[in-house]
Each structure stands twice: as C-alpha cells, then as structure tokens.
Amino acid sequence: MAKLVPPHGGKGLTCCLLEGAALEAEKKKAQGLKKFNVSPREKGDLIMIGTGGFSPLAGFMTKADWKGVCEKFLLADGTFWPIPVTMSVSKAEAATISVGEEIALFDPERSEMMATMKVTEKFEMTEADKKFECEKTFMGEGTKTAEDFWKIAKNDHPGVQMVMSQKEVNLAGPVKVLSEAEYPTKYKGVYMRPAESRKIFEERGWSEVAALQLRNPMHRSHEYLCKIAVEVCDGVFIHSLVGNLKPGDIPAEVRVKCIDMLVKKYFVEKNVVQGGYPLDMRYAGPREALLHATFRQNYGCSRMIIGRDHAGVGDFYGMFEAQTIFDKIPKPKEPGKALVCSPLKIDWTFYCHKCDGMASLRTCPHGKEDRVLLSGTMLRKLLSEGGTMPDHFGREEVLDILREYYAGLTEKVEIKLHGAATGK
C-alpha cells in the first residue's frame, strides 16, 4: 500500500474552509461584523489556510510567529516555516478593533466575503519592521549589504514593494474561510485542494511524488526537469500558480493550455498530474523555494524540483541559492515540525547541439556556443517583441498557443533580461 508523505506540522491537514450548514451560518454572522478589505496576496493566503495548503497554520501570524519566521525560519511553537503570512489594516482601522473581537474579511475586487477572523493580537509594523521583514525574506546572498539591497529593491523587487505597501498594523488570529473565490470555477479541473491531490496520488499508488513549480509556460527545460523526476519518483505534479503575477508575466489560463498540450503530446499521461494553486508570487527566491516545498508536502509531494534561479526576480539571488538554502534550515526534532519534502536539485539545463538533446552542466562537456539557453524570461521577451525563437527552445505546439496570445495583446510590458536569463 503506497504511503504519501504526511502533511506539514504533525497535525494532519489543518482545513479552515467551512461547508454546508456551518458555512451558511458563518456567512450570515459575517454580515453583522465589521468588514475589512484583504489584498490579493492576503486573499490567496486565506484560501491556502482554508484548504489545508498552509497546514499547520489556522490563521494569520502573531508577532512572535512573524519574528521567529523572519529570524529563524520557525513559528513560535518551533514548527519550521519560511515566509511571513500576515494580514494588515490601517492604524485608523486597527483603532476600531478590540482584541478578542470577530471581524469579517472582504475581497473588494469580487465584492465577496472571504472569511471571518477572531483577532487575538494587534501589532504595529513600522517602516523599520517592514524593512527588517524584507531584508530577511528577500535579500539573497548575492547582495553584500542592506544598503546595496535597498538601492535597487524598492524599485525593482515586486515582493519588497508588496511588503512596504502593507498597512501599518498586522492582525493575528484564527480564521474561518467562507470562499475559494473564482478558482474552482475559473480553473475547473486544474485548481485543487490538498485533499484532492492526495486522493489522486493514492489512487495511482504513488508514494514518492515530485512537484514542479510553474509560473511561466513550460519550455523544453521544464519538460526535461519533469521527465527526470518521473524517472526517479512514482509521478510528477505539475503545479501552476494561478494567482497574481507581475506585469508582463503570462496569465494562468494560457499557461494551463500550454501544459495540457505538452502532457498530451510528450508525456506518458498516467505519470503526470496537473494542478493549480491560488497564491500570488512573492518572488522571494530561496525562501519561496522553501515555502513551495512546505505547502507541496501538504499536497502529498515528497520532493520539490529546484532548478536554476527558483522563484527569483532580476539578479537578486544566486543561481542555485534556492538549492543550498535547504542545507541550512533548522531541523526541529519534535515529530511533524521539520520540513519533510526534500529538494530534487537539478543543475542548469539546456539543449545542446553537439549532445543532440537536452542536457545539464553536470552531463554536457561542450561550450556555451553549442547550447540553447532556456528561460521563461527570455521566452516572454522574444514572444512579446515578435522575435525569432531559437531551434529547440520550445515545442512548436506550445509556441503557437503563446504567439496567438501575444498577437491579441493591445498593450505590452517591457521584459527586462537578467543574468539568469541570458546565461551570464
């Protein structure tokens, strides 16, 4: 009997999403509560808390949790966790809330009640606190000093901009989630809860499952990473982000269509499951790689594929910093509190003309001039500018879908190339 990796935290899946009579009763109660808007990032975090994707979290973090995560990768109770999950309101809004009070969390974009929350703590986030969080979460090893980091981060790092634009007070406390927003309908058949992916893996008899994180359309390098994973595991979970990205990134529905095409034409379908999850990218590089592994454990994955510049942006992180960070994190001894999902570390991959196939720096002895260097950023830049794709960059069926998408755009965002995209 196949046995999947247990959910993170040692408590099983911590699901805060209400259903049936309990949902209807809480929705009714929410109408009489003070209402506060959530940001797109907070909305995605809420849904992950609701479905068990963020197990063992049952709500937004306390100050002790926040500080422990920033400084030591640990929640206040000693459980490993790599990135703050917080909810902010303005000082004026915070003044209207009493500790112990229940409030309603509202999505202004959809005019929908997302959750109720029992506020157990309020703590101010000064400019210095926000900078502390940014430096701990987003500053890679390539940046020598905080001064160097801030010279470029405020303008060029979307994750930093997200944190610095948060309101002045964080609210902590458990939540009851009332909705999964548009995801179950907009991405029907792709968006899934952890309990659903686990059920699929169990039905297939899988125990070793590798996850591939995707925010770009699958090019040949992604395909190669997946096929390596299929060789060493029972199956691969191609898990796409269907939440918000930065301007210029390709929308989820287009990426899903590309994956469908690739899986049908170039994979043994029984060895692949495609899924989607509702988070916004934080672009936190190494820390985000750890978050990806943490919640993939909740989805039933024992391995997380980590290649070059995982979850990076610009030149903020070292090329393989997202791999080496796994060797440096704390490993709590208490059962369930350590990260169990381990990295499947794969070197820089590319097509080599002399090898006549996909290869990596570990397997190919040839020079840069023989290689077609593959990156999602380069793919987007070439497509957005109508450039010619190098041979073996992507499958023609996928490129056709992407060309059609770009041809229909009325406004185009300039795509900046960084070191990891150009091979420098």
CA 343 to chain centre: 15
3-state secondary structure of 342: strand
Distance of alpha carbon 407 from alpha carbon 419, whole angstroms: 27
Query: Beta strands 349-352 and 342-345: pairing type?
Result: unpaired
Phi, psi (deg, nearest 5) at residue 147: -60, -45
**Cα separations (Å) of 237 from 201, 210, 230, 242?**
9, 6, 10, 15
CA 389 to chain centre: 28
Phi, psi (deg, nearest 5) at residue 35: -110, 130
Distance of alpha carbon 423 from alpha carbon 71, whole angstroms: 32
Q: Which of 41, 198, 215, 308 is catalytic?
A: 215
Residue 362 falls in the annotated catalytic set: no
Residue 216 falls in the annotated catalytic set: yes
Q: Which of 216, 244, 271, 298 is catalytic?
A: 216
Are 350 and 360 contacting, i.e. CB atoms less than 8 angstroms apart?
yes
3-state secondary structure of 196: helix
DSSP 366: S
**Apex 43 CA angle, 40 and 49, nearest 5:** 145
Residues annotated as catalytic are: 215-216
